[in-house]
Structure 1
Amino acid sequence: MYFKRDYGLTEEQKDLQAMVHEFAEKEIKPRAAEWDVNGSFSDDVLEMAKEMGLHLMAVPEKFGGMGLDKVTECILREEIGWADAGFSVTLGGFALGFLPVMLAGTDQQIAKFADVITAGGAAAFALTEAQGGSDAANTKTTAKKVGNTYVLNGSKAFISNGDIADVYTVFAMTDKSKGVKGISAFMVDRNTPGFSIGTHENKMGIRSSHTCSLYFDEMAIPEENLIGKEGEGFKIAMNTLNRTRVSGASGCVGIMQRAVEEAVAYSKEREVFGKPICKHQGIAFMLADMEIKTQAARQMVRYAARTFDADIIDPMVGSCSKTFVSDNAVQVCLDAIQVLGGYGYSREYPVEKLLRDAKSYQITEGTNQIQRVTISGNMLK
């Protein structure tokens, strides 16, 4: 049995880690291959996760969540990502949708949003548009003030939890002339007239996570659904993502850990030239490099999480960890496939899925190229 070296945890963190790992191993891992083929997850497993509070890890206790510190949240997100990264993304989407309201909403908005998700409803964060991607200033969705309402028109693309959410945080242009300073944030109820949901994207990886387009056609929402002030939407979105990138990266560390374990296990069983392939230095050194990258990635995530827990929100730290982890996760998974050879390229073994899942982390929550813009910009101030 491969032993994961994860030292320095408190007794409470160890207990939570063990509990979530057991859940992931028994309930998520055996279903992950089927979910990958079907492009969905099992509702009963999501309900189990909700009963454990895993959809509200980052939500404060006063709002009905677990109220975990960022380090502990990352420890648990890693365990879920180890079993299935798509399911980790699904659970993370609840807090991602709620966080903008927690950061900038009124007490009434926070209570309204919290009531939905603590009662079992799902949430989603709707920023990305098909033509915009990382270019938020190119947002085409508009919100026009009409009396005591805002009327939204436009669409969003690649929205996690898009077709399962009951409440959304949606970003739209209230003043195109101001660029990103003309973007505002809104709470949107799923049942609002004029709101519709597209089909689930047929993705390469994280396939159990529901990813959909959203459409707004003369959709009127009450003015009290405006989060913060007009023009603060981009700031709210960035403040949100600066807090969630490290959580997402922790799920990616789980992918790396799983790839290492699968490669080590196979290398001990597969024999060539009279001995297991792990006894050949070429393979042994590959395994060592995979472990080095995984341990380094875990420590980068934990460092970023500790800065967050110390109330230090440094975009550069989050960007560095997200970029390093996802880039190295892709390489670790490629190496795992190489260790398994032809079997690694087959769906009979899970490592090809791990690679497809890992690739998504180089794209979501700001591509790694955009992260390098952020990093270099901070370096060269």
Structure 2
Amino acid sequence: MQESESIYRFMNKETDIFENVPIMNILKKKFPAYVDQAVDAQRTGRKFAREVIAPRALETDRRCSEDPSYVDLEFYHKAMEAQIPTSIFPKKMGGLGWSTLAFGLWGEEAIAADIGLAALVTFNLFAFIGACVEFRPNVVLHIVKLIVEEERKGNPFFFGWSITEPSGGTDQEHPVAMAASRPSIEAKKVKDGYLLNGTKCFCTNGDLARLICVNAPVDRRRPLETQATFLVSTDTPGFAATRLEVKCGQKASHTAEINFTDVFVPEENLWAPPGEGLRHAQEILSATRGAVALIGLGLTRGVVERTVEYASQKKVRGHRLIDEGWVHYALAGLMTDILPLRTAIMNFLVAIDFMHVVRMLNNPITDIALKISPAKLINSDLVEQLSGLGPVASVVKSIKNKVVSAETVDNFLRHGSAVKPAASDLAMRAVSVCADIVGLEGLTRKHGIEKIFRDAKVTQIYEGPNQLHRLDVFEREVGYDYRRAV
């Protein structure tokens, strides 16, 4: 065999979802357009990752190391040209009409190439997810219009979700922990709105965002009973990004501490009223924890792909590193974990499309409305205003609450809490195993393996630490009630 023919690759086909995610063969028969779109998104993602992300990943990481405030806007504009930041919006509203599965498959490819740049694009989806959770139609329309219009002008539109407190992040995601917490931030009711005062930390896009979804109680002594959710415009007087974090990994994605000093939030920007804030946050988390699992999966794939390529070319004692049996077993152990985990995560994404809030955009009523209505009418101020009228908003929210019941949210939290730690722990184990295989030479910067080592650790922490997820699974699987135990 010629040397040029013996460079091995892992998951390097143009598309592979039919062979690696068996359920797709069944879905293809019943929902051919749905699966075809996903296949096309994966193909697009692999091309974009190969041609746009991979060539700039290490240089962007270097520049962010020297200057944490650096933003690779050239990359973001390339993503906007491909309509990636707005890809999940319906076509008539300026997007590509991608499903969660399609976006997830694109995202997996982007993450395997570089999570920092992938996060710069994908984490903006919190804007859409946060709006969809309450599903006030005028709010959803406003958010979509705002992002689409700005990006058509060539202006990146960044969004953030601020949940973590300086005194604890986990406390904000579980009722028992929240009840015992003492948050720094507080919202005071005033005429026509609220005043926010306090500090939030580790906010993705905190220094870049134009809008931030903020969780805050109206009485910090009773956070569980009074937690609310607000949409804050960052140009409001009193808002400030006070510190940009200097991070070990995922440097292209900014993380900041943000401060609120008498920041006024109008009544209409109250997304979840006092007492409903935890529910709102958990409904977002019920969808996004599976997305963080996708990050762990992409990082694992990325480090294994690089290690296979390196070992295929590295000569040791007269033969290639990849020809050694211990390397086979080490890599095979990771691959046997990647394949079933990938299937579980893809199943989660499919379930989001058919059982979670995304169903509100993919149901007979919405489909008919989008088909018969001209794009100009859908995106008009008149429709936005009419959709905000009490009777309309009430009916839509009632439908949404039936589509996404409390039981549905609880079930998605359970499954999301299972796949997220599984994927992020696998990513950490994979970078350790691969570091052992490639040794010091393979860990030099140019191979990208040490970068994934730095990128992976935080996936065990953000979106709730893995310890919390395990307790969530235990609680839901056996019916244990931590509130009664405490």
- Residue number in structure 2 paired with 1:17: 42
- Residue number in structure 1 paired with 2:198: 154
In structure 2, relative to structure 1, the CA distance for the partners of 1:42 and 1:285 (3 Å cut) is same
Matched, 1:359 2:454: no
1:124 to 160, 171, 177: 160
Distance apart, 1:89 and its partner CA = 1.9
Matched, 1:100 2:130: yes
Greater CA drift, 229-238 or 210-219: 229-238
- Residue number in structure 1 paired with 2:436: 338
Residues 227 and 277, structure 2, Cα contact 8 Å, conserved in 1: yes
Residues 268 and 276, structure 1, Cα contact 8 Å, conserved in 2: yes
Distance apart, 1:63 and its partner CA = 5.3
In structure 2, relative to structure 1, the CA distance for the partners of 1:151 and 1:211 (3 Å cut) is same
Distance apart, 1:177 and its partner CA = 4.5
Matched, 1:7 2:14: no
Residues 94 and 117, structure 1, Cα contact 8 Å, conserved in 2: no
- Residue number in structure 1 paired with 2:103: 73
- Residue number in structure 2 paired with 1:171: 215
Secondary structure at the aligned position of 1:158 is classed as strand
- Residue number in structure 1 paired with 2:299: 255
Q: CA–CA distance in 2 between the matches of 1:199 and 1:218?
A: 19
1:272 to 316, 325, 330: 316
- Over the matched positions of the two proteins, sequence identity in percent amounts to 28
- Residue number in structure 1 paired with 2:347: 303
Q: CA–CA distance in 2 between the matches of 1:12 and 1:67?
A: 9
Q: Which ranges of 4 or more aligned residues in structure 1 deviate by more than 6 Å?
A: none
Residues 267 and 278, structure 1, Cα contact 8 Å, conserved in 2: yes
Distance apart, 1:3 and its partner CA = 4.4
- Residue number in structure 1 paired with 2:84: 54
Matched, 1:33 2:33: no
Greater CA drift, 97-106 or 359-368: 97-106
* Residue ranges of structure 1 left out of the alignment (5+ in a row): none
* Residue ranges of structure 2 left out of the alignment (5+ in a row): 1-7, 19-23, 25-34, 65-69, 152-156, 173-177, 356-407, 480-486
- Residue number in structure 2 paired with 1:135: 171
Q: Which has the larger radius of gyration?
A: 2
In structure 2, relative to structure 1, the CA distance for the partners of 1:61 and 1:245 (3 Å cut) is farther
Question: Over aligned residue pairs, what C-alpha RMSD do you find?
Answer: 1.9
Secondary structure at the aligned position of 1:184 is classed as strand
Distance apart, 1:238 and its partner CA = 1.0
Q: 1:186-231 CA distances to partner (integer Å, 9 max, x unpaired)?
A: 1111210111112321111111101111110011121111013222
Secondary structure at the aligned position of 2:166 is classed as coil
Q: CA–CA distance in 2 between the matches of 1:72 and 1:104?
A: 24
Residues 59 and 95, structure 1, Cα contact 8 Å, conserved in 2: no
- Residue number in structure 1 paired with 2:21: none
Q: 1:85-110 CA distances to partner (integer Å, 9 max, x unpaired)?
A: 01222222211133222211533332
Q: Greater share of helix residues, 1 or 2?
A: 2
1:193 to 214, 237, 249: 237
Q: CA–CA distance in 1 between the matches of 2:281 and 2:323?
A: 50
Tell me the matched-pair count: 381
- Residue number in structure 1 paired with 2:369: none
Q: CA–CA distance in 1 between the matches of 2:189 and 2:89?
A: 31
Residues 58 and 446, structure 2, Cα contact 8 Å, conserved in 1: no
Q: 1:18-55 CA distances to partner (integer Å, 9 max, x unpaired)?
A: 22221121111111112212224410111221232222
Residues 73 and 247, structure 1, Cα contact 8 Å, conserved in 2: no
Q: CA–CA distance in 1 between the matches of 2:127 and 2:185?
A: 18
1:85 to 98, 101, 115: 115
Distance apart, 1:151 and its partner CA = 0.5
In structure 2, relative to structure 1, the CA distance for the partners of 1:191 and 1:131 (3 Å cut) is same
Calculate the TM-score normalised by the size of structure 2.
Answer: 0.75
Distance apart, 1:59 and its partner CA = 4.2
Distance apart, 1:64 and its partner CA = 4.2
For residue 444 of structure 2, what is the amino acid of its counterpart?
A: S
For residue 355 of structure 1, what is the amino acid of its counterpart?
A: F
In structure 2, relative to structure 1, the CA distance for the partners of 1:182 and 1:58 (3 Å cut) is farther
For residue 22 of structure 1, what is the amino acid of its counterpart?
A: K
Distance apart, 1:278 and its partner CA = 1.4
In structure 2, relative to structure 1, the CA distance for the partners of 1:242 and 1:98 (3 Å cut) is same
Q: CA–CA distance in 2 between the matches of 1:273 and 1:291?
A: 26
Greater CA drift, 151-160 or 61-70: 61-70
In structure 2, relative to structure 1, the CA distance for the partners of 1:360 and 1:59 (3 Å cut) is farther
Residues 89 and 209, structure 1, Cα contact 8 Å, conserved in 2: yes
Distance apart, 1:61 and its partner CA = 4.8
Residues 88 and 251, structure 1, Cα contact 8 Å, conserved in 2: no
Q: CA–CA distance in 2 between the matches of 1:64 and 1:214?
A: 31
Residues 105 and 228, structure 1, Cα contact 8 Å, conserved in 2: no
Calculate the TM-score normalised by the size of structure 1.
Answer: 0.94
